[in-house]
Amino acid sequence: MSASKESLKLILAGNTRVPAMINAIIRATIKARENTSDENLCFKQVYIFHTQQSLEALVKSEEKWKEALGYYRIPTNSLVYYVAEIEDSNVDRFKDLIEQLRTIVNPLDNVIHYIDLTGGISSLKTILAVFAYVLDIDQVYSLEIQFSDDFETRREQTGLFYHELESRGVKSQYRKFPPICEFDTFGRLNYTEILRHRQIIDELIQTLTHVLPSSFDVEHLRASMLSGTNSRLMGEVTGELYNYRHSLFSFSAGVEEIANIILNIIIKADIEKKPLGIKLEQIRDHFSSNAKYFINEKILNHLTKLITEVRNDNVHPNIGSCRSREMFAIQTQLSSQLSLSFLQFAVKTLTAFCDQDGKLLEVQVIDPPKMIPQTIFYFGFDGDATGDYLEVAFVKSDQSESEVIKRSQSIFNAIKLMRKLICKNTQDNTSVLFAEGDNILFKAQYLPLLLRKLQETYKEKTGLCSSIGYGRTLRESTIALRLAKGKDGDSIVGISLKGKKGDN
């Protein structure tokens, strides 16, 4: 390897023992000269991450260490100091340190970085080691000096600079760390992804358990989902078909557990021995015949049928078929996403329509003409596709803010005007409980003209449709609004809930 003076930089941690710090710089320079076969080479910059104490120690002994560097023709003006006070685990100071490291390394420059981990506080050395791994820095070293076993002699030797140690025959080695990039094999297993999936899965299952009877055991569901994720990542690293197959079967087992939970709640029947495809079909049939629930039947059909096809393709493959590892990898990734989506579906469905005992609530759509006069309802208003409406503004705005401001202001003005309409029609300034973004929550009698006027006002101001859901309780109004949003634009839905008595 050949390199010029301008292409090498050294990074190390400061040390209150100044000779040890200077000796590391000297030894790193000698190693760089050996590596490049250039006996005059010096680092363009030597970046030292000091604590306040190590910087003060360096300043106090300036004359001695400058003389020590001079023995090896190392220019003192190449030293660049940073102060990194991170002993107190201050997050902001840690961020500052990372930012300083970022300014040192410019990926566009053709620079070879050396990192010395000889001295300094442990936190700084750890950060530099991680830094070396992230940037795949190959030149990582540590100076090891064989000091005397005699206490007095050892104390004297620790205060000597490198040329003094050499003149006294003190042995030392400048050891290069094994290739840190070997951690990539471990890193590719991406255990952080497993932890991330564990958090997502745990949160979903925790939400699900709030509406499940205590008799339900969700541990097998959790174990199946995490096992599938682990095997998928192992397959990506090793390429072993066994890992891919195990992942596919684990995700299928997770989906089956989810299906069992749904069916045990909505259909009180013995379904354990039925194949997965039949269970998913029963779920589709149930929700297709119960339009009162806010299930998107089309999405449910696509999701469950695709799950079945992927599972069957692996459990019952065509005779003589031979699939590549790439196809297994694609199917495993797909199975992972499908199973997680199905778990989210179950959580959304059951938590919205189950009571505290895990029984499915009976949703009764309210027929306005048959309502009792003077009944007070909670009404939830929500603009439709507002997110898309604002996202288009960001795309169209390019370098101008006018479109973003215009669209945001139109929503704000619409909600403000609608609030006034509600208070005027109800003759009650406290009737509006919430009015932010594109949402309004208010309580009033059923006033069909007011509801239509609200939707007309929102469309006039924004060009968007809206949905309104209402009920005698806040929960009823929330579920009613979800049902309304599942219908065509400008829909109004009212419901009444009651716990189910006995089986479905």
Q: Give mean pLDDT, residues 111-134.
A: 83
Backbone angles phi, psi at 323, to 5 degrees: -100, 150
User: What pLDDT, on the 0 to 100 scale, is given for residue 500?
Assistant: 44
Q: What is the pLDDT of residue 424?
A: 93
**Mean pLDDT, the chain, whole residue set:** 82
- Per DSSP, helices labelled H in 316-324 are none
Give the per-residue pLDDT at 153: 92
Indicate the pLDDT class of residue 384, thresholds 50, 70 and 90. Answer: confident
Reduce the secondary structure of 67-92 to three states and give it as a string: HHHHCCCCCHHHEEEEECCCCCCCHH
How far is 409 from 219, CA to CA, in rounded Å? Answer: 49
481-490, Cβ contacts within 8 angstroms, sequence gap of 24 or more: 481/380, 481/381, 481/382, 482/294, 482/352, 483/292, 483/293, 483/294, 483/363, 485/294, 485/382, 485/384, 486/294, 486/295, 486/296, 489/384, 489/465, 490/455, 490/459, 490/465, 490/466
Coil vs helix vs strand at 468: strand
When pLDDT is averaged across residues 203-207 and rounded to a whole number, the result is 85
Predicted pLDDT of residue 208? 81
Q: pLDDT value at position 120?
A: 80
More confident residue, 296 or 495: 495
pLDDT of residue 422: 95
Pairing, β 432-436 against β 361-365: unpaired
Query: Residues 297, 302, 303, 306: is their CA dihedral positive or negative?
Result: positive
- Across the range 416-430, mean pLDDT stands at 93
> pTM here?
0.51
Residue 141, exposed/middle/buried by CB under 10 A (0-12, 13-18, 19+)? buried
| List of E strands, 7-138 | 8-13, 45-50, 79-83, 112-116
Q: How far is CA 102 from CA 82, 96, 109, 338, in A?
A: 13, 10, 13, 39
More confident residue, 24 or 313: 24
The mean pLDDT of 280-299, rounded to a whole number, is 78
Judge whether 433 and 451 are in contact, CB under 8 Å: no
| pLDDT, position 504 | 35
Q: What is the pLDDT of residue 174?
A: 92
pLDDT band at 406 (very low <50, low <70, confident <90, very high): confident
Fold of 364-499: Alpha-Beta Plaits (3.30.70)
Radius of gyration of the chain (CA): 34
What per-residue confidence (pLDDT) applies to 5? Answer: 44
467 exposed, middle or buried (CB, 10 Å; 0-12, 13-18, 19+)? Answer: buried
Is the predicted pLDDT of residue 320 greater than 60, yes or no?
Answer: no
Asked whether residue 260 carries a pLDDT value surpassing 70, the answer given is yes
Position 27 scores a pLDDT of 95
The tens digit of pLDDT for each residue in 321-367 reads 566 778 888 889 899 899 999 998 888 777 777 766 667 777 777 77
CA distances from 19 to 23, 33, 157, 171 (A): 6, 21, 10, 16
C-alpha closest to that of 25 among 35, 13, 40: 13
Neighbours of 158 (CB within 10 A): 14
Provide the 3-class DSSP secondary structure of residue 424. Answer: helix
- pLDDT of 165 above 90: yes
Mean pLDDT, rounded, for 29-50: 92
Cα separation of 250 and 226, whole Å?
A: 8
Query: Of 51, 17, 21, 9, nearest to 118 (Cα)?
Result: 21
Give CATH 3.40.50.11700 domain extents, the chain.
5-184
- Residue 183 tokens read as 């951690």
Please count the CA atoms within 13 angstroms of the CA of 14 that sit on its side-chain side.
22
What stretch(es) of the chain map to CATH 3.30.70.270? 364-499
At residue 501, does pLDDT exceed 50? Answer: no
Residue 75 has pLDDT above 60, yes or no: yes
Res. 307: pLDDT tops 50: yes
Dihedral of CA 152/156/157/158: which sign? Answer: positive
CATH match for 5-184 among 1.10.10.10, 3.40.50.11700, 3.20.20.10, 3.40.720.10: 3.40.50.11700
Whether the predicted pLDDT of 452 surpasses 80:
yes
* CB atoms closer than 10 angstroms to residue 174: 19
pLDDT at residue 180, rounded to an integer: 62
Percent of the chain surpassing pLDDT 90: 31
Mean pLDDT of 374-385: 88
**Res. 159 pLDDT band, cuts 50 70 90:** very high
- Contact between 212 and 358 (Cβ < 8 Å): yes
